[in-house]
Amino acid sequence: MTIFPRSIEEWYKPLTREEKIWIALAFIVALTLAGTTIAWHFIDRSHQVPSIAVEADPREFLSKAMEFSRTYSGKVVPEGTDIYLAAVRFTWIPSELILKAGVTYRIWVSSPDVLHGLSIIGPGDVVYNVMVMPGMAYVIHVKFDKPGEYEIRCNEFCGIGHANMIGRIRVVG
Amino acid sequence: MVLPGLFRTCPVTGLRVHLPTQRLIIANFVMALLSIVIGGIAAIFVGFSRGSTILVKDPEQYYIWLTAHGFNMLIFWILWFEVALVYFVSTVLLNTSIYSSRIGWLAFTLMLIGWLVVNVTVFTGNATVMFTAYPPMAAHPLFYLGYILFALGVFVALILFFLTLYKARVEGTYKGHLPLVTWGAAIAAIIGLTVVTHGAVALLTTFVWRLGLVESIDVMFYRWFFWGLGHNAQYVNVTAMVAVWYALLTLATGYTAARFVNERYARIAFALYTLFVVPGIGHHILVDPGFSVYLKQASGSVGSHFLSVPSMLHALALLGGLEATLRAAGHTGLFGWLAKIPWRNPGVAGLLLSMLLFGIGGVIAQPQTTLQPNLLFHNTMWVPAHFHLTVVGGTTLAFMALSYYVVPLLTLRRLISTRLATIQVYTAFIGILILAISMAILGWLGSPRRTLVLPELMKPEWWGPATLLVVGAAIWIASGALWVVLMLFTVLAGRRSTDPGELTSGLISAIIVKEGAKTSKMGSLVIVIIFLVVIMLALYFYSFLRLGFQPPFW
């Protein structure tokens, strides 16, 4: 009886065949899940959680992003240029990026104020989400294969204007 | 020594109830009820505004409602109920009184002050920071103090629970081992201690920072320790919910099915929770900068994936226990017994639907708790889809179903209507399923969580699921309101009775078993393999495939 005290002889029963099979299977499933994510590091190097992050002074980072924004406003970012993207309450700096399809870019993303999140949402159900941390710059490598229009949205609640943090990435051929 | 006059004997179960302890249990239960009502009212404003903006158009108001909803549901309702639950299983089931009512009321007072302070700061707009309260976004200092006081109260209550277990043991008020349900609740309480210690680290440092005593606060440090609170607390729910599942199976079948549950196997499964809870914290920081990939991988995959093992084991213990009972009653065939399940019984229906919803919630959690596919789901609506299935569909539905059994016994009043109770259980199931499916679709499409997306900010493909979400929310809220009404009418206007048959009429589906009949749990094994192996792995591998076909990102 599950709700009454019992002596050990009453509840310590051998496991049935089904129970033994299920214990083994449950652990095998967990091992499969864990094994797959570890194996993925070797299967596909180019679809991974970015692993590089460096400490970044909030003010310095913001001025870098603003400078980048001024330089490349309305222009295609040339290959080999580092992109600085700042999440600021309640906007992205720069709010629009024009990138070339098929080119790998390095994006530094950080925030001068509070915690934010970077969502890249694009055509064909493309979705990427990472956190944007104040004081820490995340280094993301990204290569858009095809031209198209992607949205960047904030995915971590950052205040009243959180929903308005929408920027754009235009990928041109 | 406790005077015998302070006890009453339950006419149905024969259990002895210590009256001062009963007052304490009822007080905590009432606070749980009050929290779910506040959280439920907040749910109306949140559910009817997300995407559709029927009710709230002002983001400031929306985020206040959302913060209140998160706090009252995820922290207050669950923890008040659990304190009531641990008091109940450590006293009534062990034939003893609480170690000290005075400590119990101290815990209650601390929790009450914390509860009041947090709710007041939130509703006055001084703490619109969500229940996660990530710094450096700052709330009023009092808010953190309230949070800390509430957690401290829970800590005192848990210590009191352990003291009561100790007292019952040394005084020898029961023979043999702890009942399974008490044992499960003890596991929940052990996990509860990790919740409070992690919470203390996260919240005390934030409180000190808000008072201006230290200059800065490390966001990543906070996030790790906060999720030691936020995530582990949900495992207190899970463990308590599983204990409640066993109680439901026992009560709803008039004790019959309990004989067919393998308690040794169930206890192994309970114990496994304690092993994997703390290592599992890391699945919240999988896409954070600043943590190493090794830590993420170890905590995200090893910790989190193994954390699903005990829940998987319980699924077979419970379903198999019911199957074996029905087989012993003469129902055969691999799945023939399924048709013989008393589906109209609110306890049995509540148990099975709660298990099903919790299972779906667990299945959709696997890709999101895994390092790389988490890139697709992190902070999208996929996340609330997961925890509405587990916490609302699983825990809350189980607790509601249990209340149909315990409240009549505690108040000695008949449940106002068993049929309405059954309807409540099914509408809750349908509502939360629709709600969660629409949230999952939104998440799949990349819609961020915790965001009031005004119509002009919507992506066209989000409209469909966002509208469906309102339908699910409406059904669930109606069902929740029905539960509150049933509880209130039972407590205030239910027919008084001390007759066991009357008090449990319609609530117990007796299954007449043949002694020594051949039983098996094979049908349940096949069912859990289909749900928790085939479907789970299919979704898991599909998420990797989807990731692999996206533009390169590393």
The answer to whether the Cβ–Cβ distance between A136 and B524 falls below 8 Å is: no
Q: How far apart are CA B264 and CA B151, in angstroms?
A: 33
How many CB atoms neighbour CB B467 within 10 A? 12
How confident is the model at residue B4, as a pLDDT? Answer: 58
Residue-wise pLDDT tens digits, B108-120: 999 999 999 999 9
Residues of B in contact with A34 (CB under 8 A): 301-302, 305-306
Give me the CATH topology for the region B17-547: Cytochrome C Oxidase; Chain A (1.20.210)
For residue A135, the distance in angstroms to the closest alpha carbon of chain B comes to 9
Residues of B in contact with A36 (CB under 8 A): 370, 540-541, 544
**Are B86 and B136 a contacting pair, CB within 8 Å?**
no
Helices (H), B75-179: 78-91, 101-123, 141-171
For residue B264, the distance in angstroms to the closest alpha carbon of chain A comes to 5
Neighbour order of strands in the sheet with A126-132: A96-100, A166-172, A148-154, A116-122, A126-132
Residue-wise pLDDT tens digits, A59-116: 999 999 999 999 999 999 999 999 999 999 999 999 999 999 999 999 999 999 999 9
The answer to whether the Cβ–Cβ distance between A115 and B134 falls below 8 Å is: yes
The answer to whether the Cβ–Cβ distance between A47 and B130 falls below 8 Å is: no
DSSP state of B133: -
Superfamily of domain A52-172: Cupredoxins -  blue copper proteins (2.60.40.420)
**Are B328 and B260 a contacting pair, CB within 8 Å?**
yes
Angle, CA B101 vertex, CA B186 and CA B497 arms, to 5°: 85
Chain A 119-158, CB below 8 Å of chain B: which residues? 119, 121-122, 125-138, 140-146, 151, 153-158
Q: Is A44 on the interface with B (CB under 8 A)?
A: yes
Q: Report helix, strand or coil for B20.
A: helix
User: How much is the ipTM here?
Assistant: 0.95
The answer to whether the Cβ–Cβ distance between A155 and B380 falls below 8 Å is: yes
Residue-wise pLDDT tens digits, B294-319: 999 988 878 889 999 999 999 999 99
Residue-wise pLDDT tens digits, A108-157: 999 999 999 999 999 988 999 999 999 999 999 999 999 999 999 999 99
Closest CA to A133 of A155, A119, A116: A116
How confident is the model at residue B278, as a pLDDT? Answer: 84
How far, in whole angstroms, is CA A12 from its chain's centroid? Answer: 47
Q: Is A58 on the interface with B (CB under 8 A)?
A: no
Confidence class for position A1, pLDDT limits 50, 70, 90 = low
Residues of B in contact with A130 (CB under 8 A): 287, 289, 375, 378
**Are B379 and A155 a contacting pair, CB within 8 Å?**
yes
Q: Which residues of chain B have pLDDT under 70?
A: 1-5, 51-53
Please classify residue A7 by burial: count the beta carbons closer than 10 Å to its beta carbon, then call 0-12 exposed, 13-18 middle and 19+ buried.
exposed
Phi and psi torsions of B318, nearest 5°: -80, -50
pLDDT at A56 over 60: yes
How confident is the model at residue B276, as a pLDDT? Answer: 87
Task: Describe chain A by its helix, strand, coil percentages, rounded to 5.
Answer: 30, 40, 30
Residues of A in contact with B528 (CB under 8 A): 22
The answer to whether the Cβ–Cβ distance between B313 and A50 falls below 8 Å is: no
Residue A119 is which amino acid? Answer: S
Residue-wise pLDDT tens digits, B14-43: 888 999 999 999 999 999 989 999 999 999
Phi and psi torsions of B230, nearest 5°: -65, -40
Please classify residue B114 by burial: count the beta carbons closer than 10 Å to its beta carbon, then call 0-12 exposed, 13-18 middle and 19+ buried.
buried
Chain B CA closest to residue A113: B136
For residue B103, the distance in angstroms to the closest alpha carbon of chain A comes to 25
- Residue ranges covered by each domain of chain B: 17-547
Residues of A in contact with B280 (CB under 8 A): none
The answer to whether the Cβ–Cβ distance between B537 and A25 falls below 8 Å is: no
Please classify residue B339 by burial: count the beta carbons closer than 10 Å to its beta carbon, then call 0-12 exposed, 13-18 middle and 19+ buried.
exposed
